[in-house]
Amino acid sequence: MRRKRATWTGFALLAAIAAAWMMVPVATHAQCGVTWTNATEIPSGNFLRSVAYGGGKFVAVGDKGTVMWSTDGVYWTLVNVGSAANLWGVTYGGGRFVIVGDGIIFNSTDGVQWNPIPATPYGNLRDVAYGDGKYVAVGLNASIITSSDATTWAQPYWSGPDLHGIHYDGGKFVAVGIWGVTAISTDGGDTFTVYPATVSTTLWGITYGEGLWVMVGENGDAFTSPDGMVWSLVDTHTGNHLYDVTYTGGLFVAVGKTGTIRHSENGTLWNVAYSPTQVDLHGICYGTDRFMAVGMSATLRNLCVIGHSISGIVTTEGGSGIQGVQVTLSGAGTAVERTESDGTFTFTGLADGTYTVTPSNAGFTFNPPSLTVPLSGQDVAGLSFVQIQAVTPPSITSVLKATNPFRLKVYGSNFHPGCAVRVNGTEVTTVYKSASYLMAKNVKTLIPKGATVQITVINKDDGGISSPVSFTR
């Protein structure tokens, strides 16, 4: 496929589709994408367009400056952000929420207090994603803007068809919009490459899971791609527009017009979900133990304890996977697994929280010894440990006195140039003589006449230390 840089010169712009509904918004979540039921306490009458989860909170945004937060997706608190602009997209990453809309950007570290940033030069923004240490927002007229701190934004592109959705995963940002055009960045959002449409559908939502990019759009069309460039149409069993799609814990869920909800385990075969509403749903995410969707009119809820996973690999110093290494999970939950034949391990069904992953194998050490892993609304993969052959700790068989000047002759085994003699825990000048003989110098003041001290030898390379031996002067 021929690639173009992101200018889109010569593309015609489609007219914007506008709608004005005066209904109560919706917040929903699923029993693993299947059965959806009513939620309560939505303190806004404006259309909600997007929802995100992070830091223990759901944040939903919508028309006329609507911003709401909730810890459980049931009871919501309305926030006055001081703007009446329509807000279209929200994401969480890098320890903060970011909202984008018509001529405005907001960021917040807690979802409650928001910092406004005028975005008039950037036009009307429709979605935002976080990855590789950077926030990337997209919008009408092919606007693509980037920021590393969610405050100072740069705009490398502005010319072409409207972009409606963006997602980051697997080292890529992928944006979608009208006419099925995709824009892809593999360098953290610094540059984008445009891939001319292989489909003719207006697209609104995109996600990644099970090794596939999945995007959804008008007339119930959904497409899958392994690379974000060439797409294959899949049947979602609906002709209703699909406005958003998400993936977590082995399940894709898409939402759309007149309450349409579809779910899939592989992104290819889609199933019909029961929805108790006939109003449009425009956004969806997963957090803690539930999917949440947002739209207009009605309020829905139901627990969906999918949980998340932590996975990684244990290798030799040469990079080969090691089978049978014990890996222990502690912290917010506990579990023990052993590595597979290729060295990989996976802990599944985990709730949000902070975990510590520690490998162990007799006779070996690991680099790093352990890793702390925070889980917040998504899987964590790519943990890597290297198994290293442990050095046998030194051993002392005898300690003798040498005179003129006063020194100690330390005999034993497993000595090497990285070893040092300690007197009552104080390291002294050590001369390596052989694998069985060390000379300890400058010890006279540490061992008064008649005193008994403890002599040890430490391997300074790996921290191994001998058992203490008593010496009396």
Task: Identify the CATH number of the domain in which residue 337 sits.
Answer: 2.60.40.10
Q: What is the pLDDT of residue 121?
A: 79
Mean pLDDT, residues 154-162 taken together: 77
Domain match, 41 and 9 both: yes
Mind listing the pLDDT tens digit for each residue in 229-267?
A: 889 999 999 999 999 999 987 789 999 999 999 999 899
Domain boundary residue, one of 373, 389, 405? 389
Considering the domain architecture, whether residues 312 and 291 belong to the same structural domain is answered as no
Continuous H helices in 293-404: none
Which tokens belong to 293?
A: 């969707």
Same domain, 22 and 120: yes
Q: What is the CATH number of the domain that holds 53?
A: 2.130.10.10
How many percent of the chain have pLDDT more than 90?
53
Residue 142 pLDDT grade (very low, low, confident, very high; cuts 50, 70, 90): confident
Q: 459 pLDDT exceeds 90?
A: no
Pairing of strands 203-209, 335-338: unpaired
Instruction: Determine, yes or no, domain membership for 428.
Output: yes
The answer to whether position 291 is within a domain reads yes
Q: Is the CA virtual torsion 250, 209, 221, 206 positive or negative? A: positive
- 250 Ramachandran zone, left/alpha/beta (phi>0; psi -120 to 50): left
Q: What is the pLDDT of residues 172-181, one digit of tens each?
A: 999 999 988 8
Q: What distance in Å separates the CA atoms of residue 80 and residue 66, rounded to the nearest whole number?
A: 8
Together in a domain, 186 and 159: yes
Same domain, 188 and 324: no
Residue with more model confidence, 108 or 390 = 108
Tens of pLDDT, residue by residue over 54-75, are 888 999 999 999 999 988 888 8
Between CA 20 and CA 238 the distance in angstroms is 24
Model pLDDT, residue 324:
86
Extract the tokens encoding 435.
């694998």
Cis amide leading into 121 (omega within 30): no
Res. 31 pLDDT band, cuts 50 70 90: low
| β-bridge mates for residue 265, sequence order | none
Q: Is 282 in the same domain as 314?
A: no
Lowest-pLDDT choice from 19-33, 124-138, 305-319, 439-453: 19-33
Q: Do 183 and 316 have their domain in common?
A: no
Give tens-digit pLDDT for 309-340. 899 999 998 899 998 898 998 888 777 788 88
**In this structure, are 25 and 128 located in the same domain?**
yes
pLDDT at 38: 66
Same domain, 380 and 410: no
Query: What band does 50 get if pLDDT is binned at 50, 70 and 90?
Result: very high
Q: Which backbone phi and psi does 72 adopt, to 5 degrees?
A: -125, -5
Question: Confidence band (pLDDT; 50, 70, 90) for 300?
Answer: low
Strand partners, 137: 128, 145
Sequence-separated (6 or more) residues with CB below 8 Å from residue 209 = 169, 247, 248, 250, 252, 267
Task: Please check the confidence at residue 88 and state whether its pLDDT lies above 80.
Answer: yes
Q: 458, 462, 414, 463: which is closest to 440 by C-alpha?
A: 458
Mean pLDDT of the chain: 85
The tens digit of pLDDT for each residue in 187-240 reads 888 888 887 777 888 999 999 988 899 999 999 999 999 988 889 999 999 999
Is position 114 within any domain? yes
For position 39, what pLDDT does the model report?
63
E strand or H helix at 217, and its extent? strand 212-217
Using the 3D structure, point to which of 369, 389, 409 is the last residue of a domain: 389
- 251-256 β-sheet, strand order: 242-248, 251-256, 261-264, 270-272
Is the per-residue pLDDT at 44 higher than 80?
no
Give the tens place of pLDDT for each residue, 107-130: 999 999 999 998 777 889 999 999
Helices (DSSP H) in 85-207: which residue ranges? none
Token pair in block for residue 306: 């999918």
- The number of beta carbons lying within 10 Å of the beta carbon of residue 305 is 12
Domain count within the chain: 3
Average pLDDT (140-166) is 87
User: If you average pLDDT over residues 356-373, what whole number do you get?
Assistant: 90
Q: Residue 364: is it exposed, middle or buried by C-beta count within 10 angstroms (0-12/13-18/19+)?
A: middle
For residue 136, the number of C-alpha atoms closer than 13 Å in the C-beta half-sphere is 31
Residue bearing tokens 């162990």? 360
Look at residue 458 and tell me whether its pLDDT is greater than 80: yes
Distances (CA, A) of 239 to 222, 256, 260: 11, 10, 10
Pairing between strand 163-169 and 154-157? unpaired
Q: Which of 389, 408, 441 is the C-terminal boundary of a domain?
A: 389
Q: Is the pLDDT of residue 15 over 70?
A: no
Whole-number pLDDT of residue 301: 55
Q: Which helix (H) or strand (E) holds 422?
A: strand 419-423
Query: Does residue 303 belong to any structural domain of this protein?
Result: no
> Would you state the pLDDT for residue 120?
72
Q: Are strands 380-389 and 308-315 parallel, antiparallel or unpaired?
A: parallel
Tens digit of each residue's pLDDT (9 = 90 or more) over 434-444: 999 999 999 99
Question: Rounded mean pLDDT of 415-424?
Answer: 92
- Whether residue 332 contacts residue 355, with contact meaning beta carbons closer than 8 Å, is answered with yes
Quote the pTM value: 0.63
Stretch 392-411: mean pLDDT = 91
Mean pLDDT over residues 293-301, rounded? 68
Q: Which residues contact 20 (CB under 8 A, 6 or more apart)?
A: none
Provide the pLDDT for residue 298. 47
DSSP 8-class letter at 352: S
Residue 192 lies in a domain: yes
